[in-house]
Amino acid sequence: MTNPILSNWTTPFEIAPFNAISDDDFAPALEQAMQAHNAEIDAIADNPDAPTFANTVEALEAAGEQMDKVLSVFFTVAGADSNPAREELQRDFSPKLAAHFSGISSNKALFQRLADLWSRKEDLNLTDEQARVLMLTHRGFVRAGGALEGEQDARMQDIKARLASLGTSFTQNLLADERDWYMELSENDLEGLPAFVVDTARAAGQEKGAKGPVVTLSRSLIVPFLQFSPRRDLREKAYRAWAARGANGGETDNRNISAEILQLREERAKLLGFDSFADFKLESEMARTPDKVRELLMQVWGPAKSRADADAEILTQMMQEDGVNGPLEAWDWRYYAEKRRKAEHDLDEAALKPYLQLDRMIEAAFACANRLFGLEFAPLDVPLYHSDCRAWEVTRNGQHIAVFIGDYFARGSKRSGAWCSAMRSQAKFPKVQAPVVINVCNFAKGDPALLSYDDARTLFHEFGHALHQMLSDVTYESISGTSVARDFVELPSQLYEHWLEVPEVLAEFATHAETGEAMPQEMLEKVLKAANFDQGFQTVEYVASALVDLAFHDGDAPADPMAKQAEVLSQIGMPQAIGMRHATPHFAHVFAGDGYSAGYYSYMWSEVMDADAFAAFEEAGGAFDPERAKALEENILSTGGSREAEELYLAFRGRLPGVEALLKGRGLIAA
């Protein structure tokens, strides 16, 4: 009987047949897929014919179809709907996959074919896209250790296998801490909480099997609890648990894991001839060097810290007026900031939230994509991996463009955060394939589901990533969609957030959950006026995390990451009442895998561009200017990694921006 993962998928648009796949199918499917992939690689490496772009690079592009099927399905469910069986499979798969891909990158016969092509690149008569794919493929093999020999080669493979296992352990430890902790609330403890927080706490209590409402470590519940609970003792207990994720001792403690990861990354970089892991990582990014990253972050840190310090004085005074003596603490900031927002902007999140229905915000994201790029979205009735998921067919002018899947609600089986991934990426070789793209979020469930303003911004952010995947129009999958420099990949997502704040978008789609009435003009104006409220806090918690990440990887790896974290925060004068957005033991961006290691700064690097890019629309015909939308699609959204990121941005805007646009956009300097 054919394994359903490896069968020909006869589902609509060849979406994975989730209803036919069981956890028992993954291990045998992976073994079969790895064998098939190895056979394909051996055939390329051992080809007696002289290397050509077709028989080597294009052959590599075409190889691994079965692997793509297995890994796309498995990692989708492992991240968004885990269970003990899947966690065990992930622990088993990590070293196997690391060894498998290391074996490919260290295949000397294969590397020699690529090196031969690279040495003759000027004589191969390649298209611009083919030349780019050759460069990236060759560089990828070199950076993976393909040119290493003997003991160095063997050591590199050991390092990559160990890093894969450690990243999996880090992720699973964090998930366990987030899943297992909760704080029960009595009916008296609910006093002062808005109805939407109470409803979320009751639903969380039911999920946990508790006798009543609970606070969990899901961001969609703990953040509003910290914002609204007048009980300082409960806020402190909840915040300390949130901040301690991954640092509670015992089997789920991530501190030693993070130290070993940093040591192995440094060794890996030095095997490849780099002074530090940051030098290695940034070589292929827009920033290029650690110094340029530090320069950007410190340009932002000064104004952000000044704003946060001034805000802290105001919040401390408010706290003292409540009869609370002593310093403002991290579990106080959100509570008093929310009170201040209500006082200064007359904006109450509890009153705002009914206007931000999840379904209406999805409609808003779709409607903006329709006006900008002509995309249309029709619901699809197909089996998916969880009952919370929804799917849409994406078309343009009647032509199929993509399948889009949304998985929006928090649950214990889902890792925290929000992300976009492609179960299948766009390509035209070796066959034409349309993308299947997923947005995964962690919003609170409700009837109807209501979002905070930050939640709505997250929805638009992830949909910006989805557009980058869906509008991709390149030949080769390796440069498709979001396969771009890490510090460029956040540009489309952060840029798309701006459309949420377009007044006509909110006026149309921010309608009240009960009455259906549009958001009153007065409230709309307050929302837009308060958009930069508390930016000192938000910028400080982010930049502090980015500076710690950079310090971890720029120079010798610290033996004690927690001590290094404390040292960096002391050096920059981290305000006492603000915690890092991601402290080391739960910094999954950096330690769950290599994605954002030495790269957490990327959001801010991209934000420098996104503020400037949206200004291009405003300088033209407004947010929906058709010429700017066309230029954005042609030069950025459709091009994937087919050219250098800097070249793509210059083609769109005609120049590179400075940090001033970002500082003005965040309200940290006068506009």
- 3-state secondary structure string across 493-525: HHHHHHHHHCHHHHHHHCECCCCCCECCHHHHH
**pLDDT level of residue 425 (50, 70, 90 thresholds):** very high
> How many CB atoms within 10 Å of residue 209?
7
For residue 1, what pLDDT band results from cuts at 50, 70 and 90?
confident
Q: What pLDDT score does 349 carry?
A: 87
429 bridge partner residues: 476
DSSP state of 112: H
Give the span between the Cα atoms of 29 and 38, in whole angstroms: 14
Q: Which residue from 649, 638, 642 is spatially nearest to 471, judged by alpha carbons?
A: 638
Q: How far apart are CA 118 and CA 146, in angstroms?
A: 14
Secondary element (H or E) of residue 442: strand 436-443
Residue 171: predicted pLDDT: 97
Strand runs labelled E in 602-646: none
> Locate tokens 């109450």: which residue?
348
Question: What is the maximum span of the chain, computed from C-alpha positions, in angstroms?
Answer: 83
Of 58, 285, 462, 490, catalytic: 462
What digits encode the pLDDT tens for the residues 575-630? 999 999 999 999 999 999 999 999 999 999 999 999 999 999 999 999 999 999 99
Fold type of domain 12-174? Neurolysin; domain 3 (1.10.1370)
Closest residue by Cα to residue 528 from 559, 557, 506, 560: 506
**What is the pTM assigned to this prediction?**
0.96
Instruction: State the CB neighbour count (10 A cutoff) for residue 663.
Output: 22
Average pLDDT over residues 228-232: 98
| C-beta of residue 6 within 8 angstroms of C-beta of residue 33 | yes
DSSP string computed for 300-333: HHHHHHHHHHHHHHHHHHHHHHTT--S---HHHH
Angle ∠(594,598,603) on CA atoms, nearest 5: 95
Whether the Cβ atoms of residue 345 and residue 530 lie closer than 8 Å to each other: yes
Helix and strand numbers (H, E) in the chain are 27, 7
Helix axes 65-80, 26-45, angle to 10 degrees: 140
Query: Which sequence spans correspond to the domains of the chain?
Result: 12-174, 181-245, 252-347+535-600, 354-529+603-665
Residue 433 DSSP code: B
How confident is the model over 10-18, as a mean pLDDT? 97
Among residues of the chain, what percentage have pLDDT more than 90?
97
Which architecture, in CATH terms, is 252-347+535-600?
Orthogonal Bundle (1.10)
- Dihedral angle, C-alpha 303, 309, 311, 312, nearest 10 °: 160
Identify the band that residue 531 occupies on the pLDDT scale cut at 50, 70 and 90.
confident
What is the C-alpha to C-alpha distance for residues 8 and 643, in angstroms, rounded to an integer? 34
In this structure, are residues 236 and 206 in contact, taking their beta carbons and an 8 Å threshold? no
Give the count of beta carbons closer than 10 Å to the beta carbon of residue 560: 13
Q: What is the dihedral of CA 409, 415, 416, 422, to 10 degrees?
A: -70
Q: How confident is the model at residue 670 (pLDDT cuts 50, 70, 90)?
A: confident
CB under 8 Å to 1, separation ≥6 — which residues?
Answer: none
Contact 54, 120 (CB under 8 A): no
Answer whether residue 671 shows pLDDT above 80. no
Which helix (DSSP H) or strand (DSSP E) does residue 459 occupy? helix 453-470
Give pLDDT, residue 665. 87
The conformation of residue 357, written as its DSSP 8-state character, comes to B
**Beta-strand relationship, 376-380 and 399-409:** unpaired
Per residue in 467-510, pLDDT tens? 999 999 999 999 999 999 999 999 999 999 999 999 999 999 99
Residue 606 vs residues 79, 291, 304, 419, 442: alpha-carbon distances, Å: 25, 17, 18, 17, 23
List 427's β-bridge partners, or say none: 433
Tens digit of each residue's pLDDT (9 = 90 or more) over 136-155? 999 999 999 999 999 999 99
Encoded tokens for 619: 């300088």
Question: Helix 219-228 and helix 232-243: axis angle, to 10°?
Answer: 150
Cβ atoms of 390 and 405 closer than 8 Å: yes
Closest CA to 287 of 144, 483, 568, 485: 485
Write the class of the CATH domain 354-529+603-665: mainly alpha
Residue 541: what are its φ and ψ, rounded to 5°? -65, -30
Quick one: DSSP state of residue 527?
Answer: H
Based on the residue annotation, tell me whether 285 is a catalytic residue of this protein: no
Element (H, E) at 168: helix 150-180
Q: Are the C-beta atoms of residues 66 and 3 closer than 8 Å to each other?
A: no
Name the β-bridge partners of 421.
438
What integer is the mean pLDDT of 513-527?
94
Phi-psi map region of 8: left, alpha, beta (phi>0 left; psi -120 to 50 alpha): beta
- Give the amino acid at 273: G
* Per-residue pLDDT band at 132 (split at 50, 70, 90): very high
Show the tokens assigned to 274. Answer: 């780099």
Alpha carbons within 13 A on the beta-carbon side of 41: 20
Q: How far apart are CA 212 and CA 559, in angstroms?
A: 44
For the segment 379-401, the average pLDDT, to the nearest whole number, is: 98
Residues near 33 by beta carbon (within 8 Å), at least 6 away in sequence: 6, 64, 66, 67, 69, 70
451 three-class SS: coil
In the three-class reduction of DSSP (H, G, I as helix; E, B as strand; rest coil), residue 246 is classed as coil
Name 450's bridge partners: 357
For residue 54, give Cα distances in angstroms to 62, 117, 133, 166: 10, 11, 12, 37
Report how far residue 43's alpha carbon sits from residue 293's, in angstroms, rounded to the nearest whole number. 42
DSSP designation for 450: B
Residue owning tokens 């197909």: 382
